[in-house]
């Protein structure tokens, strides 16, 4: 289909983009890679009257460690993340997810910021952000703000961002000596959105006790979700096979899938159980290396 008419604006700076968004009002939408927004416009699920292209704003594309944080700029493409030496060596969970996301042509332009700001529980990055306890940094009319990821996803395609806010970067606690993460999703075919996906990030102390854990799910709820009950079960303990089995059961009981073309509710719960157990084992293996 063809999108409804809109006026295209190209922003050259954050200040410029935010001022434009403020003056154009709620009928304006930011666009980064456009690979979530444009398909929605073609289906007429979104009909913004103004598109503000923020993809050429300088300084929003980077991946670096600084102090206690891993910082990734919002305009960093998924391909840039896939080929980042830093992410490959210290945060392989990103590679797990990105190689299962869409196809190279989408990943070449789809950005981390857009993937998260879209607020779609079917996207892969939100589960990683929840598992890794990210903080979203946004810039708006009142300056910069930090939004903990647990306060970011508000509902179906709804986030804590105000219409004039631009997601500028993501902060993630830096990988520690004994931390590791893993992500997997089952998809109907290569490049498809998840039937169900699970992200796990674990941090152990020197004795192998679980100091912190994040378990989050893709596309089995209306809003990207954390599995609190499974995390609480594992935090502060040496993780055994029995505990991993129980965590899988908790995740499958607590997720909220609906039956659709990708599978029945029961099938998705069963996937969540199995993938949670596998990703816990994989994340633990990486944390112990
Ligand atoms: C065929 C196809 C298959 C796909 N499969 C997958 C998949 O399996 N998994 C997956 O995770 N994704 C998938 N995607 C989505 C793809 O990864 C998107 O590119 C990505 O999710 C959004 O990034 P973007 O830069 O294109 O965002 P855009 O499309 O530009 O924007 C998406 C939304 O976020 C807002 N936005 C964008 N950037 C910002 C910002 N910096 N600050 C504030 N708001 C912003 C926009 O206003 C819009 O509402 C697929 C896309 C296609 C076309």
Domain 63-173: give its CATH code: 3.30.465.10
pLDDT one-digit tens code per residue, 132-184: 999 999 999 999 999 999 999 999 999 999 999 999 999 999 999 999 999 99
The whole-angstrom separation of Cα 11 and Cα 23 is 13
Specify the ligand 1 atom closest to the Cα of 100: 8
The whole-angstrom separation of Cα 100 and Cα 106 is 12
Residues in contact with 46: Cβ distance below 8 Å, sequence separation at least 6, in sequence order: 29, 37, 40
| Residue to mutate (ligand 1; options 76, 94, 102, 112; most atoms within 8 A of CB) | 102
In the reported structure, the alpha carbon of residue 227 is separated from the centroid of ligand 1 by a whole-number distance in angstroms of: 24
In this predicted structure, what is the pLDDT of residue 210? 98
In the reported structure, the alpha carbon of residue 124 is separated from the centroid of ligand 1 by a whole-number distance in angstroms of: 10
Which string of DSSP letters, residue by residue, matches 240-254? -HHHHHHHHHHHHHH
In the reported structure, the alpha carbon of residue 113 is separated from the centroid of ligand 1 by a whole-number distance in angstroms of: 8
| Residue to mutate (ligand 1; options 18, 28, 36; most atoms within 8 A of CB) | 36
- Spell out the domain ranges in the chain: 7-53, 63-173, 179-288
Domain 179-288: give its CATH code: 3.30.390.50
The CATH class for the domain spanning 7-53 reads: alpha beta
Per-residue confidence band for 219, with pLDDT thresholds at 50, 70 and 90: very high
Whether ipTM tops 0.95, in short, is yes
Contact yes or no for 28/21 (Cβ under 8 A): yes
Q: Is residue 1's pLDDT more than 90?
A: no
pLDDT more than 70, % of the chain:
100
What is the arithmetic mean of pLDDT over 81-87? 98
Q: Is residue 58's pLDDT more than 90?
A: yes
In this predicted structure, what is the pLDDT of residue 21? 98
**Atom 28 of ligand 1, residue of closest alpha carbon:** 34
What 3-state DSSP class applies to 143? strand
Which residues partner with 184 through β-bridges? 198
Q: Which two tokens stand for residue 46?
A: 């979104």
Q: Which residues line ligand 1 (CB under 6 A)?
A: 29-37, 39, 74, 101-102, 106, 110-111, 113-115, 117-118, 123-125, 161, 166-167, 191, 193
Q: Give the phi and the psi of residue 70 in degrees, each rounded to 5.
A: -95, 125
What 3-state DSSP class applies to 231? helix
The whole-angstrom separation of Cα 76 and Cα 114 is 10
Q: Max Cα separation, the chain?
A: 61
């Amino acid at each position: 289909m063809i999108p409804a008419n809109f006026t295209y604006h190209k922003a050259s700076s954050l200040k410029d983009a935010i001022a434009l968004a403020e003056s154009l009002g709620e009928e304006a939408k930011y666009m980064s890679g456009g690979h979530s927004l444009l398909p929605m416009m073609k289906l007429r699920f979104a009909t913004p009257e103004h598109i503000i292209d923020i993809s050429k704003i300088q300084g929003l594309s980077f991946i670096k460690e600084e102090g206690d944080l891993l910082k990734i700029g919002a305009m960093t493409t998924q391909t840039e993340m896939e080929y980042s030496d830093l992410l490959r060596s210290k945060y392989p969970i990103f590679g797990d997810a990105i190689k299962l996301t869409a196809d190279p042509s989408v990943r070449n332009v789809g950005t981390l910021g857009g993937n998260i700001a879209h607020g779609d529980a079917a996207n892969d990055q939100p589960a990683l952000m929840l598992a890794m306890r990210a903080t979203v940094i946004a810039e708006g009319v009142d300056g910069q703000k930090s939004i903990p990821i647990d306060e970011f996803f508000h509902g179906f395609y709804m986030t804590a961002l105000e219409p004039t806010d631009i997601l500028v970067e993501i902060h993630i606690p830096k990988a520690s000596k004994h931390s590791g993460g893993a992500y997997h999703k089952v998809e109907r075919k290569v490049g498809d959105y998840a039937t169900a996906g699970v992200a796990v990030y674990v941090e152990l102390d020197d004795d192998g006790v679980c100091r912190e854990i994040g378990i989050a799910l893709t596309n089995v709820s209306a809003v990207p979700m954390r599995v609190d009950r499974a995390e609480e079960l594992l935090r502060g303990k040496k993780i055994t096979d029995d505990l991993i089995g129980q965590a899988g059961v908790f995740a499958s009981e607590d997720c909220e899938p609906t039956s659709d073309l990708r599978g029945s509710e029961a099938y998705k719960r069963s996937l969540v159980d199995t993938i949670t157990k596998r990703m816990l084992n994989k994340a633990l293996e990486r944390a112990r290396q």
